[in-house]
């Protein structure tokens, strides 16, 4: 992740409550005496009262009863063991990915547990009885999240999470989708784990990440990941520069991780491969002269130097509120730190002269 999440940000209450139901269900299934007793209390009763949710639990229960008590206990022990390990899984590559298949050989049961987790997330969270019992909707949590963290996507810093609608009640506002940090389809035991959620912009969530596994790379190698809830992010390691390229007359943007530590490089590469942010930035900001012109509108070199020095200063408030600000700021910082202001100014003047010359040709030949 690019930016850290405010440590005071609360976790979604509805997920916390449903996760307790999920874990308790597997605990009661060990002895397997009576299905209804596995869904106890207000939350469990709310699940039983909804036919669709009850059916998902019932299917898992029936398949669990086909196993031995020893095997059922192994599944429960695995789930309960992994509950507090979420943060450790992101940073410690010695921990094996929490694949339920390590303790369950039944493909039918694995599929049913995945279906249960998906249903709990998409459907059960919207049940009024569940909302009443937990005391919060996902939209209400989202509004608390943005109050603590602004509306900027923490993964990329290029997009806002969602747009706020004018003259619209809070309960009718839009919200961004929540991302399962550990993908739900591969790690269903974290389907409703409250630590496994954060809002992302649509590009990061749907187009870039989709169903990628941040614990295993494309070469089946165990990887570490940044954790925005633990203030473990790549913001301070981002380095932008302009480098010579055989494919371009002008220097091109280059983005890399400034740290040489292997553990930081590993996390950076994981973030890069998951969200593809650097290549998105280069794709959008490749014409960096236009970005500079849009930000700094001065007609002489000295004024240009003053403004670009000011723009290169770190401004957290604007990083977290204005799309692309962080990335422009890092580019301007490199220009200032490497005393490239006069070179950039000359490039801008040459481009302006070329544009004026082309306009003259258009007028002469009436193009």
Residue-wise pLDDT tens digits, 131-152: 999 999 999 999 999 999 999 9
**How far is CA 212 from each of CA 44, 85, 207, 221, 367, rounded to the nearest angstrom?**
32, 20, 11, 14, 50
Q: What is the pLDDT of residue 361?
A: 47
**Binning pLDDT at 50, 70 and 90, where does residue 74 land?**
very high
**Binning pLDDT at 50, 70 and 90, where does residue 360 land?**
very low
Report, as an integer, the average pLDDT of 80-84: 97
**Binning pLDDT at 50, 70 and 90, where does residue 354 land?**
confident
Mean pLDDT of the chain: 94
Residue-wise pLDDT tens digits, 98-139: 999 999 999 999 999 999 999 999 999 999 999 999 999 999
Report, as an integer, the average pLDDT of 306-330: 95
Contact 327, 240 (CB under 8 A): yes
Residue-wise pLDDT tens digits, 24-58: 999 999 998 899 999 999 999 999 999 999 999 99
Contact 238, 255 (CB under 8 A): yes
Q: Which residue has the tokens 């050989």?
A: 105
- Burial (Cβ within 10 Å: 0-12, 13-18, ≥19) of residue 218: exposed
With a cut of 60, say whether residue 363 has pLDDT above it.
no
Residue-wise pLDDT tens digits, 232-271: 999 999 999 999 999 889 999 999 999 999 999 999 999 9
**Binning pLDDT at 50, 70 and 90, where does residue 346 land?**
very high
Residues in the chain: 367
Q: Where are the extended beta strands (E) located within 167-289?
A: 178-180, 197-199, 238-243, 252-257
Cα gap 332→335, rounded to integer Å? 5
CA angle at 241 for the pair 236 and 246, rounded to the nearest 5°: 145
Q: What is the pLDDT of residue 359?
A: 59
Structure tokens at 98: 């929490």
Residue 208's closest CA among 254, 158, 267?
158
**How far is CA 28 from each of CA 44, 74, 119, rounded to the nearest angstrom?**
12, 13, 20
Residue-wise pLDDT tens digits, 269-282: 999 999 999 999 99
Phi first, then psi: what are they for 19, rounded to 5°? -65, -35
Structure tokens at 146: 């943005």
């Amino acid at each position: 992740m690019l930016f850290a999440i405010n440590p005071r940000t609360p976790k979604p209450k509805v997920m916390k409550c449903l996760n307790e139901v999920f874990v308790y269900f597997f605990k009661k299934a060990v002895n397997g005496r009576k299905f209804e007793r596995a869904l106890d209390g207000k939350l469990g009763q709310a699940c039983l009262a909804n036919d669709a949710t009850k059916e998902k639990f019932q299917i898992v229960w029936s398949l669990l009863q086909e196993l031995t008590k020893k095997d059922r206990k192994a599944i429960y022990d695995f789930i309960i063991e992994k509950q507090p390990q979420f943060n450790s899984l992101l940073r410690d590559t010695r921990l094996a990915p929490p694949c339920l298949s390590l303790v369950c050989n039944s493909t039918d049961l694995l599929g049913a547990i995945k279906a249960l987790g998906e249903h709990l997330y998409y459907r059960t969270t919207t049940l009024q009885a569940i909302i009443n019992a937990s005391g919060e909707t996902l939209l209400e949590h989202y509004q608390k999240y943005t109050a603590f963290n602004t509306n900027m996507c923490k993964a990329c810093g290029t997009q806002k999470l969602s747009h706020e609608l004018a003259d619209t009640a809070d309960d009718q506002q839009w919200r961004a989708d929540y991302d399962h940090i550990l993908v739900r389809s591969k790690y269903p035991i974290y389907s409703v784990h409250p630590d496994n959620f954060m809002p992302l912009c649509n590009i990061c969530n749907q187009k870039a990440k989709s169903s990628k596994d941040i614990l295993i790379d494309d070469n089946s190698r165990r990887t570490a990941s940044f954790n925005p809830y633990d203030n473990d992010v790549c913001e301070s390691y981002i380095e932008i520069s302009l480098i010579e390229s055989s494919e371009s007359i002008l220097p091109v943007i280059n983005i890399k991780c400034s740290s040489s530590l292997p553990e930081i490089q590993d996390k950076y590469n994981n973030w890069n491969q998951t969200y593809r942010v650097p290549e998105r930035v280069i794709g959008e900001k490749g014409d960096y002269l236009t970005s500079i012109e849009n930000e700094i509108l001065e007609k002489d070199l000295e004024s240009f130097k003053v403004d670009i020095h000011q723009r290169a200063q770190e401004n957290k408030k604007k990083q977290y509120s204005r799309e692309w600000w962080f990335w422009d700021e890092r580019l301007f910082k490199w220009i200032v730190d490497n005393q490239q202001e006069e070179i950039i100014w000359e490039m801008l003047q040459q481009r302006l002269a070329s544009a004026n010359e082309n306009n003259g040709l258009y007028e002469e030949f009436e193009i």
